[in-house]
Amino acid sequence: MAAVHEQPAAPAHPQRSAFARRALAVAALLLFVLFAGLGTWQVFRLQWKLDLIERVDARVHADPVAPPLASQWPQVSRESDEYRRIRLSGRYLYELTTPVQALSELGAGFWLLTPFCTEEGHIVLINRGFIPSSGNIAQQYPANKAAGDPCAAAAGTPVAVTGLLRIAEPKSGFLRDNDPVNNRWYAREVGAIAAARGLDPAQVAPFFVDAGKGQDPKDAPETAVGGLTVISFPNNHLVYALTWYALALMVAAATWWVARYEARRGATDD
State residue 268's pLDDT score: 66
Shared-domain flag, residues 238 and 189: no
Instruction: Please check whether residue 154 lies inside any domain of the structure.
Output: yes
Q: How far is CA 92 from CA 63, 88, 167, 217, in A?
A: 23, 11, 20, 9
Distances (CA, A) of 67 to 84, 97, 134, 177, 258: 9, 21, 34, 29, 64
pLDDT of residue 36: 92
Across the 270 residues of the chain, what is the mean pLDDT of every consecutive 10-residue run? 52 61 84 92 89 85 92 92 94 94 90 94 94 81 88 84 90 72 91 93 94 90 90 86 92 86 68
Say what the pLDDT of residue 6 is. Answer: 55
Q: Tell whether 65 is covered by a domain.
A: no
Are residues 239 and 124 part of one domain? no
Cβ–Cβ under 8 Å, residues 35 and 242: no
Task: Indicate whether 207 and 88 sit together in one domain.
Answer: yes
Residues 88 and 188 placed together within one structural domain of the fold: yes
DSSP string, 123-141: EEEEEEEEEE--S-HHHHS
Angle, CA of 170, 173 and 175, to the nearest 5°: 65
pLDDT score of 120 = 87
Same domain, 143 and 180: yes
- Identify the pLDDT of residue 148: 83
Domain match, 157 and 45 both: no
Whether 147 and 252 map to the same domain: the answer is: no
Please report whether residue 7 resides in a domain. no
Range of the domain at 137: 84-211
| 88 lies in the same domain as 207 | yes
**Spatial separation of the C-alpha atoms in residues 114 and 106, rounded to whole Å:** 20
What's residue 209's pLDDT? 96
Pairing of strands 204-211, 123-132: parallel
* Domain identity same for 183 and 95: yes
